[in-house]
Amino acid sequence: MAVAALFRPYEAKFIPYTSIQLPLTPGIFPKRRAKLAQAVAGTVTDTLLTPSDIKAKAETLLTENNIYLSVDLFVESVLIEFRDTTKLHRLASDIAELSPALLHHLLESIIDSVEKGKDKRVAQITEKIFDQVVLSVRISLDQANEIAARLMEAFLTPQKVRNALITLLSPQNITALDESIQAHASGPYKLLARIIGVKRVCYEWRNFLEKEPEEAHKLITDLTKRFGIRDQIALQIANFDMRSLPLQTIAKLKENVVTFVESFMVEHRTDLLQAMSKIENEAMGTVRSAIIHFNPESIPAAWVDRAKHDLSSFAYSYLKRELGVLLEKAIPALGMYSLIAHKIDLLSSRQIEELVKRICKQELRALEFYGGIIGLMLGFVQIFVNAISP
């Protein structure tokens, strides 16, 4: 009767043929359902399910074993997904479409960080490449011959050698050469220089280079072949080992390389971003191919197990440190109060009445039983009082 009195009637009743509402209709709960829903939600969130209770429960669940089980399930589910060819191709296509934007954003953020002097990753990567690749690189004799040939074609052509000699044999340089021989050469050599006439020979050689360019070119070409200039250059290149340089020279060279790379990235920012845009298709194809050809079976079991432990250790240490902050942000965002009030408000009065009856079924039966006993006892007391009263 008490539960029925709370909920029934479910709707307002009126005197027939009038708009006068009968008293006590509808029931208490249907009439004040919104306020009662807010009261129940407040009771639950303030006393039964408080943020401190949620945090305490979360901390009890936050163990290394539970984190490892979660990471293990996650990794295994990912590996299982990779075995599904259809899903793998779909994943490859989705990631490949995102790769150009990701690469563009990554490159732009790296350049910004380098420009502000906050990013040391470029310097570290450049130094590692320099130490592991540049320092240990050795050029074969065939490659050295090719390089020497290109140098001869680009820098040591007869025309350029002739122009360089003409510039070198300027009047000032010839005079300086003659004065140096006279000042520093010993007696016999000084006498020989006077007999030969070094100054006159230099002027004659300069006149020959200036007035007979074709003959000079032939002479330079012939001397280059006879002296084996290209072979000498190739041999020096092949025998060159950067590790034989002094440590200070290597350190300075490494520093210059790092500075050059960083300056190049900042100065050619637009060019690099445009180049990145031009290779979008190649990047997408590379990412798609790498994902499609990925075989989970090829991953060693020991590596997977180590990766799981590393991930679980990282997650555990992070959550152990940041759990309080995360819950402070997450619990209000969940909106437990509004959620409970909204769920209660969505239920009809009949549904809530049935829910209350189902929850209190055993307790209501006990109330009915004890109510009957108390009523019977009160009835016997009333009979006794009536019997003895005058």
Domain residue ranges of the chain, discontinuous segments joined by +:
2-61+307-359, 68-133+259-299, 139-240, 365-390
Tell me: pLDDT of 361 over 70: no
CA-based angle 181:184:187, to the nearest 5?
Answer: 85
**Helix residue ranges, H only, 212-347:** 213-227, 229-239, 247-267, 269-278, 280-292, 301-334, 336-346
Alpha carbon distances (Å) from 327 to 51, 64, 315, 318: 8, 19, 15, 13
What does the pLDDT look like over 19-66, one tens digit per residue? 777 676 776 667 677 777 777 777 777 776 777 777 777 778 778 888
Residues 6+ apart with CB under 8 A from 319: 62, 67, 326
Least confident of 33-42, 223-232, 355-364: 355-364
For the segment 147-158, the average pLDDT, to the nearest whole number, is 88
What does the pLDDT look like over 258-303, one tens digit per residue? 899 889 888 888 888 888 777 777 777 777 787 677 666 777 788 8
Torsion angle, alpha carbons of 25, 28, 30, 36, to 10: 160
For the segment 356-376, the average pLDDT, to the nearest whole number, is 73
The token pair at 299 is: 């991953």
Tell me: pLDDT of 95 over 70: yes
How large is the greatest C-alpha to C-alpha distance in the chain, in angstroms?
Answer: 173
Tell me: pLDDT of 109 over 80: yes
Alpha-carbon gap, residue 169 to 16, rounded angstroms: 129
Question: How far is CA 62 from its chain centroid?
Answer: 26
